[in-house]
Amino acid sequence: MVYQQFINYPHLNVFDNIAFPLKQRKMKTSDIENEVSVAIHKVGLLGFEKRKIQELSGGQQQRVALARSLVKKAKILLLDEPLVNLDYKLREDLRNEFKNIITSDLSANSILLYASTDPLEAMQLNGDIIVLDEGKILQNGTAKDVFENPTNIKVSEITNDPAMNILKGSIDSNKIILNENVQFKIPKHVKNIQAGTYHFGIRASDMILDDKGFDFNIDIAEISGSETFLHLHQNVLNIVLLIEEVRNFNENDKVKINFNLEKLYVFDGKGDLLFSPFKMN
Amino acid sequence: MAKIEFINVGHSYDLSAKNPVYALEPFSLSWGNGGRYALLGPSGCGKTTMLNIMSGLVTPSEGNVFFNDQNITSVKTEQRNIAQVFQFPVIYNTMSVYDNLAFPLKCRNYNESQIRTKVNEVAEILNLSSFLDMWAKGLTADQKQLISLGRGLVREDVAAILMDEPLTVIDPDLKFKLRRKLKEINSKYKTTLIYVTHDQNEAMTFAENIIVMDSGKIVQSGAPQELFERPSTSFVAYFIGTPAMNIYRCSIDNNELVLGRCKLKIDKNLDQIKSEQLKVGIRSEFIELSDKPQENSILVKIKTNEDFGNYILLTCEFDDFEIKVKIKRDQSISSETPYLILPKSRLCLYENEKLIN
């Protein structure tokens, strides 16, 4: 197991920390040296073998913990938010590295279970995702399927960062009505839908700035990594729009936006998925 | 409020050493009145030293500090009219919220009605009006942090509010609200806000101007968009943005950049550049995919294709190079060996790790 906190034996150096489970198994010294040096190489700690744990940065300590879990060649590898306590840039670097290390190390009959609150980490691992909330399994499927067809609103919130925009509205005389200003035609993939009230879902990345679009006011522009999240409102309608670059915006400025309607989700009053832009199983 | 200027300010904690190591290398910089600034850098880069020099907790071993053209280098902290907000809320637990906010004014002998007006106004802005009679002790961490901030806002003579990682103890959902509040306050009161953080997202969201620091040096100062599009050193190109900028060693031949077997045009006259230490960089976001060769296109092989939901990140290979490209999730990829277009206006050229403008 690898935990959120950096857990290592403080009195042992890097090599001995990683060798520990093998020594417990009374493995031959020469074999231990082989196994440990392979693991040290994999996690990028070459040259750090004799260092004390306290002399390492958080990222390096977490590499030691990962290496120790790898040498055991266990059937099940559990990682519990291993990157959550690291700085943003380090988290990004290790997210890529850990994925490559773990996936290249997993043998055909072993299992990796990785707990995370970050949809990005879950997507990047590209395996099966189990979505949990308040002790219940909400959905279980491939990363692609869970992302494309979230079974209900809660899943769409958990598996998207920023959470999918969920907008209350209605369908009446072949139109989707979000409020008196924001109305549009029903897209093709929403077939034979009856008049009534629904929740409409659209991802932040499926909305665009568009001179011919609807007027919205900027609450704040948040910049995360290379992305700009525009938090917008029009009356009581709140929307987050994502731009894949860093742009400066001022609060309370007006922008015009549009919806990529081909990517619209429709959920019923209870929040269960009715229509998805992707083929549903 | 004040204009703050640092002229050749540098600091070493141990001047007796033969070769003093600078915690902060000498630099000059000015902070305009009413601006929103972030000091951004990894831990140990000198951010807090710079903040402490500004507040007077540290006297710089070199250089001078000016507030409104007045040299205050040796003026004590309490005479500088600086308000500070720290990582952890610093409040008077035994006082009510009202008295906490009123404290700085009482100390300066404001009269009762002036105090009441000002405290009520600031409480209103910070959404603390309904808590004024409560003990400060019973409040949540974010409310306490708002009080720390409010004590800086009640005074009209404050030159700047300095904040050292002020959102560390705040829940992620509330961070967003507080950041918004800070921006609102800045536009209403025009108080200079200086914000120290190691978190890119906080700095980029909060500041109009970011001062990026690394190992005791200022490496770049500019607007978020500028840092992203034209990072002035390869460190900034790595540190800002996800993923880091693609950067490669290159050489020049016949006014073109040579990168392995590829040649690239760039919006610059390359005649004057003689250095051997050249690198060229481009952001993943600015690369386009094409079926056919075009100007500044390179033929690559797609190595991995990672679906992040909001976008797809392609890792491509050409010669011995690896290049990351961000594309929209619904963009179709017709070939495993596409051409990548590197628009010449988007290329950044670095000589000895520094951007050539």
pLDDT in tens, B195-213: 998 888 889 988 999 999 9
| B87 domain residue, yes or no | no
Question: What is the location of CATH 3.40.50.300 in chain A?
Answer: 14-115
Q: Return all residues near A60 (Cβ < 8 A) that are at least 6 apart.
A: A45, A48
Rounded to 5 degrees, what angle do the CA atoms B280, B245, A263 make? 130
- Measure the N-to-C terminal CA separation of chain A; round to a whole number of Å: 34
Phi (first) and psi of residue A62, to 5 degrees: -70, -30
Query: Is some CB atom of chain A closer than 8 A to the CB atom of B178?
Result: no
Evaluate whether residue B133 is within a structural domain.
no
Judge whether B185 lies within some domain. no
Neighbour-count burial of B301, counting CB atoms closer than 10 A to its CB (0-12 exposed, 13-18 middle, 19+ buried): exposed
Residue B78, Cβ density class (10 Å: 0-12 exposed, 13-18 middle, ≥19 buried): exposed
Nearest to B326 among A147, A224, A244 (CB): A244
Better-predicted residue by pLDDT, A272 or B184: A272
The pLDDT mean for chain A works out to 91
Residues A219 and A230: their CA atoms lie apart, in Å, by 8
One-letter amino acid at B197 equals T
Residues B236 and B246 in one domain: no
Residue A122 has φ and ψ, to the nearest 5°, of -65, -45
pLDDT score recorded for residue B185: 83
In a domain, B76, yes or no: yes
Give the pLDDT score at B316. 97
Pair (B327, B280) in one structural domain: yes
Question: Would you tell me how many other CB atoms lie within 10 Å of the CB of residue B83?
Answer: 23
For residue A148, the chain B residue with the least C-alpha distance is B309
Helices A58-71/A14-24 angle, 10° precision = 20
Q: For position B106, what pLDDT does the model report?
A: 94
C-beta separation of A238 from A232 below 8 A: yes
B307 in reach of chain A (CB within 8 A): yes
The answer to whether residue B109 sits within a structural domain is: no
Contact criterion met (CB < 8 Å) for A227 and B310: yes
Cα–Cα–Cα angle for B242, B245, B248, rounded to 5 degrees: 150
pLDDT confidence tier of residue B292, bands split at 50, 70 and 90: very high
Query: A210: distance to nearest CA of chain B, Å?
Result: 17
Q: Do B306 and A87 touch (CB under 8 A)?
A: no
- Residue written as tokens 């951010």? B47
Does residue B230 sit in the same domain as residue B266? no
Angle between helices B97-107 and B141-153 (to 10 degrees): 20
Same domain, B313 and B212: no
Backbone region of residue A160 per phi and psi (left: phi > 0; alpha: psi in -120 to 50; beta: other values): beta
Q: Which of A87, A119, A244 sits opposite B311 (nearest CB)?
A: A244
Cβ–Cβ contact B42 with A under 8 A: yes
HSE, side-chain direction, 13 A CA sphere, residue A213: 17
Tell me which chain A residue has its CA closest to the CA of residue B181.
A220
Q: Which amino acid is at A51?
A: R
Cβ contact A226–B184 (<8 Å): no
Whether the predicted pLDDT of B330 surpasses 90 = no
Measured between beta carbons, which residues in chain A are less than 8 angstroms from residue B183?
Answer: 220, 251
Q: B157 burial class (0-12, 13-18, 19+ CB within 10 angstroms)?
A: exposed
Q: Which residues of A touch B (CB under 8 A)?
A: 87-89, 92, 119-120, 123-124, 126, 143-144, 147, 159-161, 203-205, 219-227, 242, 244-248, 251, 263
CA–CA min distance A167, chain B (Å): 19
Q: Is the pLDDT reported for residue B127 higher than 70?
A: yes
User: Which residue numbers in chain A have pLDDT < 50?
Assistant: none
Could you say which of B199, B223, B309 has the minimum Cβ distance to residue A147? Answer: B309
Residue B177 has pLDDT above 90, yes or no: no
The alpha carbon of residue B314 is apart from the nearest alpha carbon of chain A, in Å, by 12
Per DSSP, helices labelled H in A44-113 are 58-71, 88-105
* One domain, residues B348 and B281: yes
Looking at residue B255, the DSSP 8-state letter turns out to be: T
Q: Are residues B258 and B334 in the same domain?
A: yes
The reply to whether B202 and B346 lie within a common domain is no
CA distance linking residue A16 with residue B195, whole number of Å: 42
**CATH fold label, A165-275:** OB fold (Dihydrolipoamide Acetyltransferase, E2P) (2.40.50)
Neighbours of A232 (CB within 10 A): 24
**Chain A partners within 8 Å of B286 (Cβ):** 245
Query: Are B71 and B219 in a shared domain?
Result: yes
From CA B102, how far away is CA B114, in angstroms rounded?
A: 10
Residue A171 burial (CB count, 10 A): 18
Q: CA Rg, chain B, in Å?
A: 25
Distance CA A147, CA A158 (A): 10
Q: Which domain holds residue B29?
A: 1-81+191-241
Residue B285 has pLDDT above 90, yes or no: yes
Write out chain B residues lying below 8 Å of A144, CB-based.
307
Q: Residues B216, B339: one domain?
A: no
In the numeric block, which tokens belong to residue A116?
Answer: 């995370």
One-letter amino acid for residue B178 of the chain: L
B197 and B63 co-located in one domain: yes
Say which residue, B152 or A207, is predicted with more confidence. A207
Q: What is the three-class DSSP state of B284? A: helix
- The pLDDT assigned to B114 comes to 93
**Does the structure show a pLDDT above 70 at B129?**
yes
CA distance A93 to chain B (A): 9
Structural domains counted in chain B: 2
Cα A184 versus chain centre, distance: 31
- pLDDT attached to residue B1: 59
Residue B43 has a CB neighbour count (10 Å cut-off) of: 9
Does this model's pTM top 0.90? My answer is no
- Fold category of A14-115 in CATH: Rossmann fold (3.40.50)
In whole angstroms, what is the distance from residue B219 CA to residue A105 CA? Answer: 39
Residues B250 and B350 in one domain: yes
Same domain? For B347 and B275 the reply is yes
Q: Of the candidates A87, A92, A126, which has its C-beta nearest B198's C-beta?
A: A87
Residues B200, B241: Cα–Cα separation, whole Å: 8
Q: In the A/B pair of chains, how many CB contacts fall below 8 A?
A: 98
Tell me how close the Cα of A247 comes to any Cα of chain B, in angstroms: 5
Q: Tokens 């060996």 appear where?
A: B337
B273 pLDDT higher than 90 = no
Nearest CA in chain A to B197: A87
Work out the widest C-alpha separation in chain A, in whole angstroms.
Answer: 78
Choose among A144, A223, A227: nearest Cβ to B307: A144
CB B75 within 8 A of CB B64: no
Q: What is the pLDDT of residue B276?
A: 79
Residue A3, H or E segment: none
Phi, psi of B301 (to 5 degrees): -115, 130
Give the position of tokens 């910089």: B29
Per-residue model confidence (pLDDT) at position B13: 83
B228 near A CB under 8 A: yes
- pLDDT of B281: 96
Please, are residues B8 and B64 in contact by the beta-carbon 8 Å criterion? yes
Question: For residue B145, is it within any domain?
Answer: no
Q: Which of A226, A252, A265 to mutate to test the interface with B (most CBs of B within 10 A)?
A: A226
User: In a 10 Å sphere around its CB, with 0-12 CB exposed, 13-18 middle and 19+ buried, how is residue A16 labelled?
Assistant: middle
